[in-house]
Each structure stands twice: as C-alpha cells, then as structure tokens.
Amino acid sequence: MNRRILSAVIALSVVLVTGRNALAAPTSSSTSLQQIKNQRQDLETKVEKLDEQIGQVKKQIDDNKKGIEKTNKDIKDTQAQLEKSEQNIKGQQDLFGKRVRAMYINGANSYLDVVLQADSLGDFITRVDTVKKIVGFDQKIIKDLKDKQGAIAEEKQALNDKNKKLLALKTDNEKKLSKLNSDKASQTKLIADLEAKEKVVAAQDTATARIVATAANQVQKVRSEAPRLSRGSGTTSTPASSSSVVAYASNFLGTPYQWGGNGPSTFDCSGFTSYVYSHFGVGLPRIAADQQGAGTAVSRDQLQPGDLVFFGSPAHHVGIYVGNGCYIHAPRTGDVVKISSLDDRSDFTGGTRVK
C-alpha cells in the first residue's frame, strides 16, 4: 500500500471515531504534521478520559461485589435467626405438650377439669387464675411466633430483593467496563496508526523533537548536578527544590503506565506525581483534579521546573514541568513515563506550584 492510500485510510478511520465528516478530512500526503499531532492528541486525551472512567467503573464493580457479599452474609444470618426462632418455638410447644400430658395423667382432660377439681372456693379461684395465665401464655406464644416469623420472612425477602438489584447493577457495570475497554482498544489502535504516520511526516518538521531533546538534555544535566536521589520510595531529607524534584522524577523515565499504578514499577499520571513528591515528604491528593488545589496556581509563562501541570477542567491528566516548555508524565495505557512538549497539548489548563 503506497503512502497516499495509507494516509487516506488512517484519516478516514480517525474521522469515523471523532465524528467528523469523512469528505472534509485530509486524505493526502500533504496533511500537515500539526494536523496529525492534533488528531493524535485528541485521541490520547480520549484514552486518558477512558482510563479514568474505566477506573471508576472498576471501583463500582468492587463496591458491588462487597455489597453482594455483605447481603449474602445478612441473608445467612437472617436464615439462622429464623431457624433459631423455630427451634425456640418448638421447645415451647413441647413444654406445652408435656404440661397437657401431665394434666391428663393426673386425671384432668381439659382446663375445665382442672378448675372443677377444686376442693374449696380459694382453690377454685387460684385454679381459675392459673388457667388464665396458662391460656394467656399459650396465646402469647402463638402471637409471638406469627409476628417473629412474619418479620424475619419480610427481612429475608428484602435482602433477596436487594441482592438481585446488586447483581443486576454488577452485570450492568461489567457491560460498561467491557464497552469502555473495547473503545479504548479501538482508540489505542488509531493512536498507533497516527504515530506511525507522524514518524513518516516528522522529517518535514523536527522542531518539537528538538524541543523535547533539549529538555531531556537539561533534565540529564540537572540530574547529574543534583544530590544523588535513588528510585527508593523512602522519604528523603533533601528539600523539594525544583532541581531535586526533576532529578528524582527522571529516575522513572521508561516506567510503564498502568491505571491505579502507585509506583515504582508502574504509574498512572497522578500516581507518578504523588510518588515523586512523597519522596520529599510532600503529600499530594491521589486524583489529578484534586492535585490542582495542592499549592499556588501558576500560568504557563510563570512555570518553573518542579511545578505540576494540568490538562482538562476538571483535570484528567497531570505531569511535572521540567523546563523548556516540556513536562515529564505517565501518559496513558500502552505508553511509558516520558518527556513531552506542552505545545503538543491543546487542553493545558495551568500549573500548580507545590509548597
């Protein structure tokens, strides 16, 4: 397949995903590098958001599982209460039966016989009172039995209904997760296609590559001049200066991205920034959007190495500014911790200087 046909196929695929009119999409090899970068960045932003949504749905599924486990336990506990109640009632009924048999053995076939066998008025009154208490007690046993059985049965039915809803919700969330993973896989494939195309066209415009390379060289220089900072997770006594933060963060270049990764073997974007700053005794919120309020807001022209940089509002991505218009970050699924140019992003929303 020649380059012209390949360009047309890739451009058409991107149009189908982003919802643009296919006839309006660039389909020739004259497509500018910036257009390709913008298309790729749009898709990468979508993948970042999909990663966030996938994480939320996974958490919902975990919550569903915990809810189902608890409900099943409650159902078992309720069944045990019901069985215990039935055993208690059976014991009371057995006691009642023994009492009736004792009266029969003693010559009394009924409560009336017990009363009529009184040998005096006082004995008669005592027997009447005793019979009333026995009859009342038996009636109370029957009433308590019905009330308790009814209450436990209702509770068990409510728990069964709750369990059905939780199972349905879990199934629904699993379908959402499957759809999100499928969407992410499609987007990731398109990103790979665009990256391949970008490499072909990149020979026409190496400005961004030079910027990133310059930033990488500066990071290497800072790293060599800064105090030795290992990849260990322990807190250091070295203050969180701009050079030490950048130097320490550079230790993790090439580390794979994984959603929920807290380091040091894998990272997601906010897990990476949290891990780096925790090394200097600075606690950051775990979510990118929450990290925006963790210090003093700074605009792009005020950025200094070590500042956090955010993308989206509320932020769906975060990195650490390293200077020369570039930042180090854990980008997305399938990528690794690397240095990128802010010029490649159209969704930059500002920085935060952590104190």
The pLDDT, as a whole number, for residue 221 is: 74
pTM above 0.85, yes or no: no
Q: Do residues 272 and 347 share a domain?
A: yes
Q: Do residues 310 and 173 share a domain?
A: no
Name the domain count of the chain: 2
Q: Do residues 238 and 151 share a domain?
A: no
pLDDT tier for residue 206 given thresholds of 50, 70 and 90: low
Secondary structure element (H or E) that encloses residue 167, with its range: helix 121-201
The more confidently predicted of residues 216 and 7 is 216
Give me the phi and psi of 29, to 5 degrees please.
-70, -5
pLDDT at residue 291 is higher than 90: yes
The pLDDT, as a whole number, for residue 105 is: 47
DSSP calls for 191-231 = HHHHHHHHHHHGGG--HHHHHHHHHHHHHHHHHHHSPP--S
pLDDT tier for residue 24 given thresholds of 50, 70 and 90: very low
Q: Do residues 129 and 164 share a domain?
A: yes
Does residue 337 lie within any of the structural domains? yes
Q: How far is CA 348 from CA 28, 45, 273, 277, in A?
A: 30, 11, 17, 21
The more confidently predicted of residues 177 and 224 is 177
Does residue 8 lie within any of the structural domains? no
Least confident of 173-182, 253-262, 335-344: 173-182
pLDDT at residue 234 is higher than 50: yes
Q: Do residues 212 and 343 share a domain?
A: yes
How far apart (Å, rounded) are the C-alpha atoms in residues 264 and 248?
12
Q: Do residues 328 and 284 share a domain?
A: yes
The pLDDT, as a whole number, for residue 280 is: 92
Does residue 21 lie within any of the structural domains? no
Range of the domain at 83: 59-179
- pLDDT tens readout for residues 82-130: 777 777 767 766 666 665 555 544 544 455 555 556 566 665 666 566 6
Does residue 196 lie within any of the structural domains? no
Q: Do residues 221 and 168 share a domain?
A: no
Q: Name the average pLDDT for the chain.
A: 76
Task: Report which DSSP code applies to 136.
Answer: H
Structure tokens at 349: 């929303």
Angle 126-127-133 (CA atoms, 0-180°, nearest 5)?
Answer: 90
CA-CA-CA-CA torsion for 15, 20, 23, 25, nearest 10 degrees?
-60
CATH classification at residue 248? 3.90.1720.10
Write down which residue in 179, 197, 226 finishes a domain. Answer: 179
Does residue 225 lie within any of the structural domains? yes
How far apart (Å, rounded) are the C-alpha atoms in residues 226 and 248?
9
Write down which residue in 162, 179, 196 finishes a domain. Answer: 179
The pLDDT, as a whole number, for residue 108 is: 45
CA-closest candidate to residue 288, choices 253, 245, 331: 331
Q: What is the mean pLDDT of residues 183-195?
A: 80
Q: Residues near 237 by Cβ (< 8 Å), separated by ≥ 6?
A: none
Q: Do residues 232 and 308 share a domain?
A: yes
Q: What is the mean pLDDT of residues 37-42?
A: 80
Q: Do residues 173 and 236 share a domain?
A: no
Does residue 2 lie within any of the structural domains? no
